[in-house]
Amino acid sequence: MKKTNLAILCVLLPLAVGVARAAATDAENWDNHCSKCHGADGAGATKVGRKLHLKDYTDAAVQAAMKDEDMFKAIKDGVMDGEKERMKAFKDDLTDPEITDLVAYIRKMKK
């Protein structure tokens, strides 16, 4: 009986960890990965945001100029300015569906 319970635990534990990993919402991912630079509201009005001249995602004109595919690529692969990294890549931190959800979350910031 103990061996059966151990076997079940060995199967279920990795699944539980995977579910917990997948449970992060777009808002949580924004808070954890983006808001430090882009601000909680996406306006880019943080110390880092002002220094890097980040786009104001609450601005309808800024939103209209951005393509979802470009936003996805920037989040996944990062943003470089020549040899200098402007934004780190999140391909190791976020899944493709999480990045897609994050792009949709940014779209909701438009005022």
pTM, whole model, 2 decimals?
0.78
Q: At what angle do helices 26-33 and 96-107 cross, to 10 degrees?
A: 90
CATH no. of 25-107? 1.10.760.10
Spatial distance between the Cα atoms of 25 and 53, rounded to a whole number of angstroms: 27
CB neighbourhood size of 20 (10 A): 9
- Side-chain-side CA neighbours of 35 within 13 Å: the count stands at 11
pLDDT string in tens for the chain (111-residue length): 566 655 565 566 565 555 555 558 999 999 999 999 999 999 999 999 999 999 999 999 999 999 999 999 999 999 999 999 999 999 999 999 999 999 999 999 999
Beta bridge partners of 87: 79
